[in-house]
Amino acid sequence: MNPCTCGTPFRDYDNRCLRCKRQIDAKRAEKLPFHRLIPEIKPCKCPDDVKKEHGVRSTLIAELELCNSCDLRVGGPEIEEPDVLKARESAAKRESEAKALEARRVAEVQRIKSEAKSGNVIYLYKSIYMSIDSLSAVAGDQSTLAVFSDRRIKEAGAQGWRVIEAIPRTMGEALQNYEGFGKAWAGGIGGSVIGAYVLMEFAVTSTNADSSEVWIRESVEDYVL
């Protein structure tokens, strides 16, 4: 078949020009959009003898065959657009991965509860950030950097959590000297404590394994990913 020379700006799904019915050069075809969406291609209604006379051609999509007489779809299932199909497959993959993750988390929660009920003590850990009312002095004036609050620590303690460590959060600041329109580094200050990460521990035992399931679940979600 002679190649298409009419300069059509579109192609069909077999890289054929619908204007002259000739094949478009492969390199040029790659840059051209398809002239119609797959769902727009209606089923062929040509009589069997017409289809037999003119034949059926395959396309770039395995499930799609076109009639040479009417250029419509010959048999086969309904076909989705490639982008729609890809999006559907991605969504299905995400759903499958989410279900698998949930199954692993449920299994881990049950394992912890089972271990605890059998007499082994299982420990859960979490960290709570606590702000500290550190003072900052500028030109002789003192100001508070944050408001001290240990409410969440007290609440956790009342629920059975205990403090096992506090990791301070510090802040450093570089100093500069100015002279005229210029400036020069003059050193810095550091180590000012502005808050703390408080590490909490909770013991899961045979007597509280069921009532602690919410905290077990929260802990499991942090490390079963």
Contacts of 138 (CB under 8 A, 6+ apart): none
Residues 50 and 109 in one domain: no
- Mean pLDDT lowest for which of 61-65, 79-83, 170-174? 79-83
Q: Are 126 and 116 in contact (CB under 8 A)?
A: no
Task: State the maximum Cα–Cα separation within the chain, in Å, rounded to a whole number.
Answer: 100
Question: Predicted confidence band at 139 (pLDDT cuts at 50, 70, 90)?
Answer: very low
Question: Predicted confidence band at 25 (pLDDT cuts at 50, 70, 90)?
Answer: confident
Query: Alpha-carbon distance 11 to 68, whole Å?
Result: 15
> What pLDDT was estimated at residue 128?
92
Residues 89 and 161 in one domain: yes
- Classified as helix, coil or strand, 202 is strand
Question: Predicted confidence band at 126 (pLDDT cuts at 50, 70, 90)?
Answer: very high
> What pLDDT was estimated at residue 118?
94
Residue 36's identity, in one-letter code, is R
> What pLDDT was estimated at residue 142?
52
Q: How far is CA 105 from CA 24, 160, 210, 212, 225, in A?
A: 54, 23, 16, 15, 8
Q: Which of 79, 104, 139 is the last residue of a domain?
A: 79
| pLDDT above 90: percentage of residues in the chain | 32
> What pLDDT was estimated at residue 141?
53
Residues 149 and 49 in one domain: no
Strands 162-179 and 141-144: unpaired
Residues 51 and 132 in one domain: no
- Classified as helix, coil or strand, 78 is coil
> What pLDDT was estimated at residue 174?
65
Question: Predicted confidence band at 136 (pLDDT cuts at 50, 70, 90)?
Answer: low
Chain segment 164-220, per-residue pLDDT in tens? 999 988 876 666 666 666 656 555 555 677 788 999 999 999 999 999 999 999 999
Q: Which of 28, 48, 79 is the last residue of a domain?
A: 79
Residues 41 and 102 in one domain: no
Residues 107 and 68 in one domain: no
| pLDDT above 70: percentage of residues in the chain | 81
Contacts of 136 (CB under 8 A, 6+ apart): 142, 143, 144, 145, 192
